[in-house]
């Protein structure tokens, strides 16, 4: 058995789903097993917008400028290329010089 799918079923376990919501749950369960060891699970949770089901809360991350005056520097064009396009954002020192992550939890009423 894998993700609720019993070996030998001619319908691959889909007969267990009697509604669209149950079918989605079966598919999400299969994706969880499939992506768990392929280092793709986090991206799949983000794409399907189901991360909050694991963490228990909905949050969002915004990338903001450390200094609002840096906007002019980052958008300065040299030879047709903006300075921001040449930044190595994978370098933590470079990233934190210009950007900061803001994590918020939206309030839903």
pTM of the predicted structure, to 2 decimals: 0.49
Closest by CA to 29, choosing from 9, 53, 57, 59, is 53
Contact 3, 35 (CB under 8 A): no
Residue 5 in 3-state DSSP?
Answer: strand
Q: What's the pLDDT score for residue 61? A: 83
Q: What is the pLDDT of residues 35-76, one digit of tens each?
A: 888 888 888 888 888 877 777 777 788 999 999 999 999 999
Distance CA(96)–CA(90), nearest Å, equals 10
C-alpha torsion sign, points 43, 48, 51, 53:
negative
Tokens 């010089």 locate to 97
């Amino acid at each position: 058995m894998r993700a609720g799918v019993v070996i030998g079923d001619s319908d691959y376990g889909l007969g267990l789903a009697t509604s669209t919501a149950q079918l989605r749950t079966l598919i999400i369960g299969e994706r969880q097993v499939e992506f768990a060891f392929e280092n793709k699970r986090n991206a799949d949770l983000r794409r399907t917008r189901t991360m909050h089901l694991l963490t228990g809360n909905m949050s969002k991350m915004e990338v903001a400028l450390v200094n609002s005056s840096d906007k002019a520097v980052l958008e300065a064009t040299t030879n047709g290329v903006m300075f921001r396009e040449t930044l190595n954002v994978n370098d933590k020192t470079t990233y934190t010089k210009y950007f900061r992550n803001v994590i918020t939890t939206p309030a839903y009423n």
